Amino acid sequence: MSFGRQDYRRANQDLLRALGALGTCDPREMSMNDMLSHVMEMDDVEIAGDYETAARSRMAILGYYFQICMDLYLVRDVNKSD
């Protein structure tokens, strides 16, 4: 399957919404400033017209932050049951 410029533009919009919805899980693990820095960096890449790189990078960032959130959730859940 081949993706075009418009597909990556839509993917970038969806990924930005997902990053915003994720927010921050724990300020000790990640900060909103870090997330905003990554988002702004990819904004510059997108403005330069490289929608695919921006989308792939945002997906990696989203995966990284989501993993942190899940790890923290699981640790809290285990601690509650102790």
- What residue spans of 1-82 are helical by DSSP H? 5-22, 32-47, 51-81
pLDDT at 64 over 70: yes
Q: Which candidate, 32, 11, 10, places its Cα nearest to that of 65?
A: 32
Q: Residue ranges of the domains in the chain? A: 5-81
Question: What is the average per-residue pLDDT within 4-31?
Answer: 74
For residue 68, name the pLDDT band (cuts at 50, 70, 90). confident
In angstroms, the Cα distances linking 25 to 8, 22, 41, 61, 69 are: 27, 8, 21, 14, 5
Residues 23-55 have pLDDT tens digits of: 666 655 556 667 778 778 888 998 999 989 988
